[in-house]
Amino acid sequence: GNMLVIIVGAIFIRFTESIASPFRSLYIRELGASPAVFGFMDSIGRAVYAIVSLPGGHFADKYGRKKIIYMMNFGMALSFLVYAFAPKWEFILIAIFVANISAIYFPAYTAIEADSIPPEKRGRGYAAIGLFPKILAVFSPALGGLLVDRLGLVSGMRMAYILVMFAFLITALLNMLYLEETLENPQDFHFNELKGDIVSSVVSIKETWGTLSRNLKAFILVMTINAFAGPFGYLFHALYA
């Protein structure tokens, strides 16, 4: 059951995001931001995500996966609503903040994927989660190009971001109604425990690092290098083209 919900949600999100993403830098430039400002905003977004990812993993292991996933899906929908109706580039910064704070659900999403796939089928399960959304998303950039050609850059991108917003809303509802919690005995969330949770999440990173295998540490190192180098290209490839 969970696998079907996860795959359907991933299809909606991947298909619509791939309509908008190739033209994002052009859209933000059209709203008045220079490439330097655009890059700075993206760096701020990454810093926000780096901060929230620590408590995100802790929350997933303490309070469960399902609730944080669908609640933050609604947050992601809100961020794309701001993208769609931003009158100038400063509003994009608000959207980036909202999106990266909402991304606190990513560790919970990864955990529920792993929980929902039997260990002996985990490779095939992850392949299925990645395969079906990517197959349909093959057509998305071309559709985005048609939108931009027919409606103009700004109007076309606004329409594309509205589609992404609805994709996250639909996914949030699917997760809220049909996703099954996989954490046994999740605790109830209390705001007065928030400070302690954040401190615990930071402390647990050091403790967890000591338990990781050599292979996993090497994988994290490679991912770190890719995370640093990747944005040099894809953030500005549309401007370059």
Mind listing the pLDDT tens digit of every residue in the chain (241 residues)?
788 999 999 999 999 999 999 999 999 999 999 999 988 999 999 899 988 887 888 788 888 899 999 999 999 999 999 999 999 999 999 999 999 999 999 989 999 988 888 888 878 888 888 888 889 899 999 999 999 999 999 999 999 999 999 999 999 999 999 999 998 888 887 666 666 767 777 777 777 777 888 888 888 888 888 877 777 777 888 888 8
φ/ψ of 230, rounded to 5, equals -55, -50
Residue 134, phi then psi, degrees to nearest 5: -70, -35
- Indicate the helix (H) or strand (E) that contains 46: helix 35-63
Which residue type does 154 have?
V
The pTM for the full model equals: 0.86
Q: How far apart are CA 100 and CA 32, in angstroms?
A: 22
**Cβ contact 181:115 at 8 Å:** no
Tell me the C-alpha distance between 228 and 52, whole Å: 18
Dist. CA 34–CA 89, nearest whole Å: 9
By three-state DSSP, how is residue 138 classified?
coil
Which tokens go with 41?
Answer: 């905003």
